[in-house]
Amino acid sequence: MSQQVKKTVIIQNKLGLHARAATKLAKLTHKFDARVAIVQDGREVDASSVMCLLLLASGQGKEIDIVARGPEAQPAVDAIAALIEARFDEDA
């Protein structure tokens, strides 16, 4: 049976989920044996797709849910949450 893990985080970096941040997030999802989605305001998108992430238009202060399903769901959610909480390793 596939495990599902969910965590709510807040976008903290100044520019929100812009192209560079979305690319980092999408690349990170590929490192795990899990299907990862980002949910914002009831809309769920595939976290491995930069275009889908950009369409969410997540700005600073937006609350999102990271939802992962699969054998590595927990480490995937933990890694993505850490990336977001680290402001995508950006200065601002």
* Surface-to-core class of residue 77, CB atoms within 10 Å of its CB (0-12 exposed, 13-18 middle, 19+ buried): buried
Catalytic residue chosen out of the listed positions 18, 20, 24, 87 = 18
User: Catalytic site residue 30?
Assistant: no
State whether residue 88 is helix, strand or coil: helix
- 6: tokens are 């969910």
Which amino acid is residue 20, in one-letter code?
R
State whether residue 14 is helix, strand or coil: coil
State whether residue 64 is helix, strand or coil: strand
Q: Catalytic positions, please?
A: 18
